[in-house]
């Protein structure tokens, strides 16, 4: 074994390395020269047969060759790894500007949601903030605290889904008035949206679940004038400035006095048509000054504070606004219908 043999091993190895273009091949090649039984390692083992002088020269040269080869292999490994990474990036690159393969149809906002948002925004513009309560409600909040004690004939006005003797599916959003009176410090103005439930057969104008929205104002010295002013502003914002409004006396157990609000028919402009049954007027909401008993029941002093409220059926307003003659269409989610809005 001579120094020339070492150079030969080196030349052969360098030549072999030139034709290697793959990391796996490089990993297979490495031990054939530098591994435990590699050519160079075996050559080093032959060193013991040399004279001490030869051994020194041979040993030094062998180390140089080893270092050189290791460096070449390491550089090659880096280059191959980089190339592999680049290739992967190129292959897996995604053109984020390419058009999609599937055409996703454009969605619409449900007409009832459109109307809800419009009313809500109109009320927020009048200084109201949204307030929500649970759909499953204490009977106490839904009726008793609202001046409808057990056995009160007015309870017959609403047929209720009872969950237990004391828990119901709320029949109106009005229990939120109780909740806000019990938890908030007056004065405040709330807009209260939500689903409500009644035992009703489904037909063109009835649904066992429907969407209500309520305005509730608690302040000092409120009168019917404040209520009417708020409602005129509200009606004009939602239905337009050309619409007229009138108040009719009515009855609700939790308000005194109570009124119902009509607006001039949005279809015929007040001349009389099928929708307004020839009267020129359409009833849109109920309202009133909160009965002092309700404030008292909720721990608010009726001598210090007063309140008014008005409740509106979002589905009904939606029907009026878009001329929808069957309320079922608003709850059935038929895409052919909804696509028109
Ligand atoms: Zn009409």
- In the reported structure, the alpha carbon of residue 206 is separated from the centroid of ligand 1 by a whole-number distance in angstroms of 21
Confidence of residue 154 (pLDDT cuts 50, 70, 90): low
- In the reported structure, the alpha carbon of residue 201 is separated from the centroid of ligand 1 by a whole-number distance in angstroms of 26
pLDDT in tens, 279-314: 999 898 999 999 999 999 999 999 999 999 999 989
pLDDT at 156 over 90: no
Confidence of residue 157 (pLDDT cuts 50, 70, 90): low
- In the reported structure, the alpha carbon of residue 235 is separated from the centroid of ligand 1 by a whole-number distance in angstroms of 17
Confidence of residue 2 (pLDDT cuts 50, 70, 90): confident
- In the reported structure, the alpha carbon of residue 272 is separated from the centroid of ligand 1 by a whole-number distance in angstroms of 4
Share of the chain above pLDDT 70, in %: 99
DSSP per-residue letters across 143-186: TGGGT--TT-GGGGGS---BSSSSEEE-SSSTHHHHHHHHHSPS
Distance CA 126, CA 65 (A): 88
- Contact (CB, 8 A) for 210 and 184: no
Confidence of residue 323 (pLDDT cuts 50, 70, 90): confident
- In the reported structure, the alpha carbon of residue 282 is separated from the centroid of ligand 1 by a whole-number distance in angstroms of 8
Write b or e for each residue in 22-53: b if 16 or more Cβ atoms lie within 10 A of its Cβ, otherwise e: eeeebeebbeebbeeebbbeebbeeeeeeeee
- In the reported structure, the alpha carbon of residue 67 is separated from the centroid of ligand 1 by a whole-number distance in angstroms of 99
Distance CA 231, CA 263 (A): 11
pLDDT in tens, 242-277: 999 999 999 999 999 999 999 998 888 889 888 788
- In the reported structure, the alpha carbon of residue 94 is separated from the centroid of ligand 1 by a whole-number distance in angstroms of 59
Peptide bond into 296 cis (omega under 30): no
- In the reported structure, the alpha carbon of residue 263 is separated from the centroid of ligand 1 by a whole-number distance in angstroms of 10
- Contact (CB, 8 A) for 308 and 222: yes
- In the reported structure, the alpha carbon of residue 264 is separated from the centroid of ligand 1 by a whole-number distance in angstroms of 8
């Amino acid at each position: 074994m001579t120094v020339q043999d070492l150079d030969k091993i080196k030349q052969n190895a360098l030549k072999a390395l030139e034709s290697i273009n793959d990391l796996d091949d490089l990993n297979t090649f490495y031990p054939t020269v530098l591994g435990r039984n590699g050519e160079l390692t075996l050559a080093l083992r032959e060193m013991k047969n040399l004279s001490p002088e030869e051994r020194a020269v041979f040993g030094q040269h062998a180390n140089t060759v080893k270092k050189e080869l290791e460096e070449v292999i390491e550089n090659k490994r880096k280059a191959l790894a980089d190339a592999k990474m680049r290739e992967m990036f190129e292959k897996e690159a995604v053109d984020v500007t390419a058009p999609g393969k599937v055409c996703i149809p454009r969605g619409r906002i449900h007409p009832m949601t459109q109307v809800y948002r419009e009313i809500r925004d109109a009320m927020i513009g009048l200084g109201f903030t949204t307030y929500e309560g649970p759909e499953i409600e204490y009977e106490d909040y839904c009726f008793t605290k609202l001046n409808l004690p057990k056995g009160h004939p007015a309870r017959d006005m609403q047929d209720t889904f009872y969950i237990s003797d004391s828990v119901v599916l709320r029949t109106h959003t009005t229990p939120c008035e109780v909740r806000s009176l019990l938890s908030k410090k007056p004065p405040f103005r709330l807009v209260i949206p939500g689903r409500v439930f009644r035992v009703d057969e489904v037909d063109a104008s009835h649904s066992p679940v429907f969407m209500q929205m309520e305005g509730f104002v608690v302040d000092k010295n409120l009168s019917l004038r404040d209520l009417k002013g708020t409602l005129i502003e509200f009606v004009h914002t939602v239905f337009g400035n050309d619409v007229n409004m009138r108040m009719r006396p009515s009855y609700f157990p939790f308000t005194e006095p109570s009124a119902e609000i009509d607006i001039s028919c949005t279809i015929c402009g007040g001349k009389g048509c099928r929708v307004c049954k020839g009267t020129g007027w359409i009833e849109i909401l109920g309202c009133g000054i909160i009965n002092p008993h309700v404030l008292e029941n909720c721990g608010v002093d009726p001598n210090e504070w007063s309140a008014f409220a008005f409740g509106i059926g979002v589905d009904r307003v939606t029907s009026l606004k878009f001329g929808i003659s069957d309320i079922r269409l608003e709850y059935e989610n038929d895409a052919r219908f909804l696509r028109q809005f």
